[in-house]
Structure 1
Amino acid sequence: MAAMANKLIDAVTTLVGWINHSATDPFERVRASAEVVKISTPLDAAGHFTFLAQHPGAAAAVTFLLELAPELKDGTIGTWVTAASVAVPAAGGQVEATISGGALLMAPADAANVKEHAFVYARCTLTPSTPAGAYAGLTHA
């Protein structure tokens, strides 16, 4: 049987934007720019991931910065590393960036102090501001 392509990592892959309620997530809400999200499927060196950034239009181009961090043995968040940075023009649109897990390097200070050698936290920061209707998320490629 062939592997499924582009499946959702989990129900909390929305990093910025509206989240509808579902069977696994009963709360409707909006995730804000730079909000820290703990993802339940760790992003490791074996996988490939797609970062999706979009907005319907804004006063200026919007930059989406995706950062990832590991979970340390004491349960705290490790050092943030940049995984992708994309810009969507002011007119709006959608950009997809493929991320190879093997290209993600953990901060040397964290490597010996992580629960597992994978990234478990994500955040996406939009600059200069977050336009209404903006969305950023991750899928497993």
Structure 2
Amino acid sequence: MTPLQEDPMTTQATRLLDAQTVLVGWINHSATDCYEHIRSSGEIINLGTDLETSASFVLVASHPGHSEAVTVTLELAPLLPDGSAGTWITAAAVAIPAAGGKVEATIAGQGLLPNPADAATAEPPCIRLARALVSPSSPEGMLVALTSFQGL
């Protein structure tokens, strides 16, 4: 590969992480989402790119305030050849105090491995399904998203 050629795996991973991908919260009408809607806790999102091909990415979670602290757990799974989800793995967990705020967790994509239970069917790279579990409930104005790592 010459310096001017792009590695297709890098290009594919960069395409996802160039923009924020909402896992929980309000989705505006855009080129990739043709209607406005709200994504809920536990909703499975097919990211369309394999996260283990990314050096790192960031889980961003925020809310304006709630009656109690909120925990967000990011789970990832491989997309199996039959189109089903493999075994879910926990990639990160963050807590936001009841007063609200924003927290971020950086995740090393190259350190992600499918669960050994999927070894027979999941051939890396394959981790492209994500879901965010919000506990005890999603406050009004909650946002959980994945985005690219903007390191120095």
TM-based fold match above 0.5: yes
TM-aligned CA deviation for residue 40 of structure 1: 1.5
Q: Report the alpha carbon displacement of residue 50 of structure 1 after superposing the two structures with TM.
A: 0.3
Alignment pair present for 1:36 and 2:44: yes
Q: In 2 relative to 1, CA 81–140 (structure 1 residues): closer, same or farther, beyond 3 Å?
A: same
Determine the C-alpha separation between the residues in 1 that align with 2:102 and 2:33.
25
Report the alpha carbon displacement of residue 26 of structure 1 after superposing the two structures with TM.
Answer: 1.3
- Following the alignment from structure 2 to structure 1, what is the Cα–Cα distance between the partners of residues 81 and 20? 22
Structure with bigger gyration radius = 2
1:132–1:125 distance in 2 versus 1, CA, 3 Å: same
Q: Does 1:24 align with 2:32?
A: yes
Provide the identity percentage: 52
The residue number in structure 1 matching 2:21 is 13
Higher helix share: 2
When structure 1 is superposed on structure 2, of 57-66 and 38-47 the one drifting more is: 38-47
Classify the secondary structure of the residue corresponding to 1:79.
coil
Query: How many residues in Structure 1 have an aligned counterpart in Structure 2?
Result: 136
Deviation of residue 115 (structure 1)?
5.2
**What corresponds to 1:50 in structure 2?**
58
Aligned partners of 1:62 and 1:87 also within 8 Å? yes
Q: Matches of 1:112 and 1:34 in 2, distance apart?
A: 26
Segment of structure 1 superposing worse, 117-126 or 57-66: 117-126
CA deviation digits over 1:72-130, x for unaligned, max 9? 11111000000000000000000000000132221112133125423110000110111
Matching of residue 117 in structure 1 with residue 118 in structure 2: no
CA RMSD in angstroms, aligned pairs only: 2.0
List alignment gaps of at least 5 residues for structure 2: 1-13
Is the Cα contact below 8 Å between 2:80 and 2:126 reproduced in 1?
no
Give the aligned residue type for 1:62. Answer: V
Aligned mates of 1:129, 1:101 — CA distance in 2: 28
